Amino acid sequence: MYEHRIAELSADLEILKKKRKLAARGIDLRGRQKVPKDVKLSVLNIVEATPLKKKILLQKLGMAPIKYFRWSQKYYLDNCLEDKRGGLRLKRPRMEDLYRKQIVAIRKQKFLGKADIGPERIMDELEQNGIFLSHETIRKVLHQEGLITPRPRVEIHEFKRFEAEAKNDLWQMDFLYLFVVGYGYVYLCSVLDDYSRKIVHAQLSTSATALEAADTLKTAIEKAGAPPKRVLTDREIQFFTGVGNRIGKFETFLKTNEIEHVFARVRHPQTLGKIERFHRSLRQECLNHYTFDDPIETHRIVREYIHLYNTVRKHKGIGRVTPEQRYSGQDKHIRPFQLQLRNKILSERKAMLSEPALQQKMALQKTVLFLKTPCLRRWFSFKL
């Protein structure tokens, strides 16, 4: 009698194991398939009533001893056999999986048709479409898709940071060299507004002299419509002739226009970090992808990049707005609107992925799973 019942129970448990492997194709199942209460109660009654050792009997049933003792503990101590764990659960969708295709598509667009678009730039593109993701999430997706190689970890030093209080309060100046095939080296003198990070003016020349620096600053003042209060430079020969020497043309121009000359710390390029970062971005995103053989074409490409840098490329250091928006004062109206829109979309996303919405979706999936059962399909075919 007992052997017949043991064979039936072992067959039922084997069927449950097979169902666990094959159940709910296309539906996310976490944990194990639930065992019905009557099967649990039958197992407890058989094991307690038979004279065989529990270990041998559980081996015949194909059960782990810990599972039996867990059932018996629930039955005798809690007076219930309900298993709240396992069963059909809908996995909460991840944000990176919902927008993976859009992230990969933006990555493959290329900036200026040449340079790769990084996580920060992809985040800006998604924000314009009303999608808000962190740059770390985007970086993880790019790494999973094999579109980015993680950078080696470097020790980050904490530097003293500074920023001008208003536009035209402090300008930074520096030179960058370029190589043009057939012409040799040309030099780009850039003027950056410290408050807004805007490139006020940049000028290409065949030499890096004090006269070229003074001419670049003069043109920048004409474009801005007002001279800066201070100009920050390093101690190169173009900007500073040295103590006790004759004053150079650049210093004479500053003195004539009553502009204060501020020097960077010796052997400390971080003081000019903003314009150094601009030159680095210019090389990585533009210059390294071209082979220049014409100074006029070089000037056109650099001018096009500076236009995009000022009007399109958003900066994290100034609140994710463009330098032009910061320079013109539009950021005071744009930033609160961006935060308001971001909070609204995030609240809608949270409501969409809330527990009641997931429960409703889970009930629908259960209904679909029930309608796909073989016995129900046979019953419908018999009725038809």
Task: For residue range 300-349, list pLDDT tens digits in order.
Answer: 999 999 999 999 999 988 988 999 999 999 988 888 887 887 788 777 77
Percent of the chain with pLDDT over 70: 78
- Residue 188 above 90 pLDDT? yes
Check whether residue 245 and residue 295 sit in a common domain: yes
Residue 157 lies in a domain: no
Identify whether the C-beta of residue 310 lies closer than 8 Å to the C-beta of residue 221. Answer: no
The SS3 call for residue 132 is coil
Does 234 reside within a domain?
A: yes
> Residue 34 domain-assigned?
yes
Structural domain total, the chain: 3
Q: Do 114 and 85 share a structural domain?
A: no
Beta strands 260-263 and 230-233 are parallel
Does residue 231 sit in the same domain as residue 298? yes
> Which of these three, 296, 313, 330, is where a domain ends?
313
Q: Which two tokens stand for residue 38?
A: 């009557």
CATH number at residue 223: 3.30.420.10
Same domain for 130 and 80: no
User: Does 139 map to a domain?
Assistant: yes
Statement to judge: residues 263 and 133 lie in one domain: no
Cβ–Cβ < 8 Å for 208, 187 = yes
Q: Are residues 287 and 198 in the same domain?
A: yes
User: From CA 130, how far away is CA 337, in angstroms rounded?
Assistant: 12
Q: How confident is the model at residue 29, as a pLDDT?
A: 38
- From 292, 313, 334, the end of a domain falls on 313
Are residues 83 and 135 located together in one domain of the fold? no
Q: CA 268, CA 164: separation in Å to the nearest integer?
A: 19
Q: Is residue 378 part of a domain?
A: no
Please indicate, yes or no, if residue 351 is contained in any of the structural domains: no
On whether the CB atoms of residues 187 and 309 are closer than 8 A, the answer is no
Q: Which of 89, 123, 141 is the last residue of a domain?
A: 89
Helix (H) or strand (E) run with residue 201 in it: strand 199-205
**Residue with tokens 């796909």, as numbered in its chain:** 372
Q: Are residues 146 and 201 in the same domain?
A: no
Give the structural domain span for 242.
Answer: 170-313
181 and 307 fall within a common domain: yes
Q: State the average pLDDT over residues 131-149.
A: 86
Whether 63 and 101 share a structural domain: no
pLDDT for position 343: 82
Candidate from 33-47, 95-109, 125-139, 259-273 with smallest mean pLDDT: 33-47
Residue 208 located in a structural domain: yes
Is the domain of 85 the same as that of 107? Answer: no
75 and 32 housed in the same domain: yes
pLDDT confidence tier of residue 163, bands split at 50, 70 and 90: very high
Name 193's bridge partners: 171
Residue 13 CB burial class (10 angstroms; 0-12, 13-18, ≥19): middle
Give the pLDDT confidence of 349-360 residue by residue, as tens digits. 777 666 565 566
> Of 191 and 150, which is predicted with more confidence?
191
* Three-state SS annotation for 28-40: CECCCCCCCHHHH
